[in-house]
Structure 1
């Protein structure tokens, strides 16, 4: 064996991407061949996500406070915030429209109902019949609470005479938190294994065939959105979408394995700063985008509603479709980056629509977990592109040679 080949082996084993990929494949095999064992792995994936979620609130708080306080210019904060919200609203609305258009053109709801099992949806259906309470949502959503508190503290910090000293201290705390999280992320393969083993063990592969058309339609639509829509936005700023995907490959695999974009949020912040986005823009746009810029969730919600209408042969007029899109423009902003949140928002939206039978949610729950990977990846890429676009637009992007090749 040559010196070159022996040097290559340790590098592979030290690569987190390699272990996450191995974990995903192992999880699928365990879930398929030993379903009961696979179902028992749910707790493993849940524990990993729970550990990472402990870091989410402090990281959002620190990045936003440093983003606002580090600028020292509230007018710039307001300008970036306004640009971000405008961008989020336009792109997510466009995503909703694409979801509706794809469902109407491909008609995934015109499939056989044979083999569909809705028994596991009873708990979700009962929750869906409860009115959506925004105040309750706010009280239980620590991400949104951290976001609002950070904005208030960041603005107030600009009026302190010791602002620079406080900001320097917060930077040190932020650095420590990120280093600690970097160590925790080596548990990502364990979380990815647990999530995939449970998914395949619980629902199997054969039972999902009747809903394959919906899954295929959704994955295809989200791929088109990423490569064409997000790709066009990046192309405008002279960046290729494939270069960004390669740069964020380890984080994308973590998102794919855990079906959640939250575990990759800290690494996304770090990598966007390393590739040239300014720290203040990253600190404002990324955490805010995780609550308000959910492109994948928007596509999932609009397509699922149209799918269920087709499944029950419910004719929706153009006015009704516009009403649904308008409603989803509001409810989709309430979906966090946590696994399963998209289904909860779908249930809440269905409650308000009335014209489509609520039991239709049972057809979605069987494959919701499989579609959550596509949702999470699209949400993740959407926030990465949004941050780059706003940073470029602000003139706060530092072009670094080979920045997308940084590992």
Structure 2
């Protein structure tokens, strides 16, 4: 299994080398079809998703810190290279081995890591839901379609269910957006406009997915009394010392 996994990661690496060409082609298509002015609302969408993701991670980290006594901003700092890998590949699966190893280095038992992380990759996809929700609202606003608050809540619940299992597939979010837009009678043509920035939004949502699952794993370890503040701080200092060394 390890050999097959390494081979698949190698293939993924080859694909990612050609990803910038694909991103350029999608953005060129958007500009060529809808004009340079379309980049302004798309830029606003990117900033909105990035800001919402950063706010979400900070709020969750703060709540988790209060709940467990562990500084979860230290957890995020220890995971920064893993999160950068997730961002650059837009695939949670590519970051999974490194994230699991890093959590074990921070004191989380292997039994919890190997159970919670894969489970979270199927059921705890906060970033995918956030990204897809922003895409649906963007399409509605682009075509001047009013969505009352109860319909927005229904969209959120729908996306919470329909985004399960897509964490490891780059670009799968746009398929969910297209299906949800059709289900709520929104113009599916708007999905084509999102294609130009889908890769960038995919990178942002992947960071949220990986970070959320890593924090959830630490919370479960504390909940099961397999990790405490003193142990984490000791492992964290050892990690920093080894890294600096």
Q: TM-score, normalised by structure 2?
A: 0.82
2:73 to 224, 235, 242: 242
Q: Where does residue 289 of structure 1 map in the other structure?
A: 120
Q: Where does residue 19 of structure 2 map in the other structure?
A: 195
> Separation in 1 of the partners of 2:143 and 2:120?
34
- Structure 2: gaps (5+ residues): none
> Separation in 1 of the partners of 2:44 and 2:15?
28
- Deviation string 1:340-379 (CA, Å, 9 cap, x unpaired) is 111111122222212x111111121111111111010110
> Separation in 2 of the partners of 1:261 and 1:239?
24
Corresponding position: 1:391 with 2:215: no
- Deviation string 1:196-244 (CA, Å, 9 cap, x unpaired) is 4542465269757321001110101101111222333134323334322
- Which stretch shows the higher mean deviation, 214-223 or 252-261? 252-261
> Separation in 2 of the partners of 1:358 and 1:202?
17
> Separation in 2 of the partners of 1:187 and 1:274?
27
> Separation in 1 of the partners of 2:9 and 2:21?
19
- Deviation string 1:373-404 (CA, Å, 9 cap, x unpaired) is 10101100000000000111111126154423
Once superposed, what is the RMSD of the aligned Cα atoms?
2.8
- Deviation string 1:285-338 (CA, Å, 9 cap, x unpaired) is 100111111111110111211121111111112332232222222112242321
> Separation in 1 of the partners of 2:160 and 2:9?
33
Q: Where does residue 377 of structure 1 map in the other structure?
A: 207
- Structure 1: gaps (5+ residues): 1-57, 59-176
Mapping for residues 6-405 of structure 1, pairs under 5 Å: 58=1, 177=2, 181=6, 193-200=17-24, 202-203=26-27, 209-210=39-40, 211-354=42-185, 356-397=186-227, 399-405=231-237
> Separation in 1 of the partners of 2:187 and 2:85?
35
| CA distance 1:237–1:192, change in 2 (3 Å) | farther
Q: TM-score, normalised by structure 1?
A: 0.51
Contact map agreement 2:23 2:196 (CA 8 A) in 1: no
Question: Matched residue pairs, number?
Answer: 229
> Separation in 1 of the partners of 2:134 and 2:117?
26
